[in-house]
Structure 1
Amino acid sequence: MTKVRVAVIGCGSIAERRHIPEYAEHPNVELVAFADPIIERAEGYAKRFDAKAYSDYKELLAAGGFDAVSVCTPNIFHAEMSIAAANAGAHVLVEKPMAVSEEEAQAMIDAAKKNNVYLMVGHNQRLMPPHVKAKEVLQTGKLGRVLTFRTAFSHGGPEFWSIDGKESWFFRKNEAIMGAMGDLGVHKSDMIRWLLDDEVVDVSAFIGTLDKKDTDVDDNAICLLRMKSGAIGTLVASWTAYRGEDNGTYLWCENGIMKIGTDPDDQVIVELRDGTVEKYRVGAISTNDKQEVSGVVDAFIESIVTNTPPSISGEEGKKSLSVILSAFQSQADNKTISL
Structure 2
Amino acid sequence: MIFRQSFDPQSSTYTYLLADAETREAVLIDPVFEQVRRDTALIGELGLRLIATIDTHVHADHVTGAWLLKQRTGSRIAISAASGAQGADRYLADGDRVEFGARHLRVASTPGHTGGCISLMLDDRSMAFTGDCLLIRGTGRTDFQQGNARAMYRAIHDTLFALPEHCLLYPAHDYRGLTVTSVGEERRFNPRLGGELSEDDFVGSMRNLRLAHPKQIDIAVPANLECGAPREPTSALAPAPTVDPDWAPVNCTFAGIWEIQPQWLEDHLDAVQIVDVREPDEFDGPLGRIPGAQLIVLGELAERAGEIDRNKPVVTVCRAGGRSAQATVILRQAGFDALANLAGGMLRWRAEGRVVENEAA
Normalised to the residue count of structure 1, the TM-score between the two structures is 0.28
**Higher helix content, 1 or 2:** 1
Max Rg structure: 2
Normalised to the residue count of structure 2, the TM-score between the two structures is 0.27
- Greater length-normalized contact order (CA 8 Å, ≥ 6 residues apart): 1
